[in-house]
Amino acid sequence: MKSISLNQFLDFLNQQTSTSFKTDIVDNFLKNHKIDHEEFLPYTFFREETYGRNLVAKNDFFELLVLTWLPEQRTPIHDHADQRCWMLLELGSLTFKNYEPVGSIIDGKKYQLKPLGKAETIKAGNQSVYIDDSLGLHSIANASRKPAISVHLYAGPVPKCRIYNETLKSFETVELEYFTFSGNTWNEDIQELH
Ligand SMILES: [Fe+2]
């Protein structure tokens, strides 16, 4: 496995198109290349209120994020808006749980969900994890009492997704926000530039 810099990884990603992201080109690249953990540190910001979504880079075809997880932080149950996702777990361990709808749908949006298969806990290592909507709705949670850091490549970018409200038993579409953008704390001034 060849060690590469984050810039070399971004060069590779910037050469891809919406079509090439649908092939196994990313899987093959991740199988043969390793990006040092330190490369992601300038983008690693932990957030107290919720897990942190830190944007590293983005174009029309992909977005690359560093997600930070303090103990007990987790995502809601969500889908991936039909986009593909590859994850590298840099630190700690994360638990993935899949869900499927059960019973009838009320008003086109009310569902009961039940767990699909067993929850799977993944520890930091060199292996990438692949996620798409064919794997079903899912949630991700920090599995330990220590912080976790994961890198997520989405192709294409996922500006919105559906999340499941466990109290209302229904889905809502939410716009996904960034906690930081390219290593800077996200604020209105930066937002206006893009
Ligand atoms: Fe996800």
Which domains, and CATH codes, for the chain?
Answer: 2-178 (2.60.120.10)
Q: How many residues does the chain have?
A: 194
The alpha carbon of 24 and the centre of ligand 1 are apart by a number of angstroms equal to: 19
Ligand 1: centre distance to CA 174 (Å): 13
- pLDDT for 77 equals 93
Per-residue pLDDT of the chain (194 residues), as tens digits, is 899 999 999 999 999 999 999 999 999 999 999 999 999 999 999 999 999 999 999 999 999 999 999 999 999 999 887 889 999 999 999 999 999 888 776 666 667 888 989 999 999 986 788 887 676 689 999 999 999 999 999 999 988 888 998 888 888 899 999 999 887 765 544 444 33
Structure tokens at 27: 């899987």
- Name the DSSP class of 49: S
Predicted pLDDT of residue 186: 54
- Torsion, Cα 116 122 127 130, to 10 degrees, reads 30
Helices marked H in the chain: 6-14, 25-32, 188-192
pLDDT at 130: 86
Output the pLDDT for position 95. Answer: 95
Would you state the pLDDT for residue 100? Answer: 86
**pLDDT for residue 185:** 61
Q: How far is the CA of 139 from the centre of ligand 1 (A)?
A: 6
116 C-alpha to center of ligand 1: Å? 15
Tell me the CA–centroid distance for residue 34 and ligand 1, in Å. 22
Distance (Å) from CA 140 to ligand 1 centroid? 7
Interval between CA 81 and ligand 1 midpoint (Å): 10
Cα–ligand 1 centroid distance for 8 (angstroms): 25
CA of 131 to the centre of ligand 1 (A): 7
Q: In which element (H, E) is residue 121 found?
A: strand 110-123
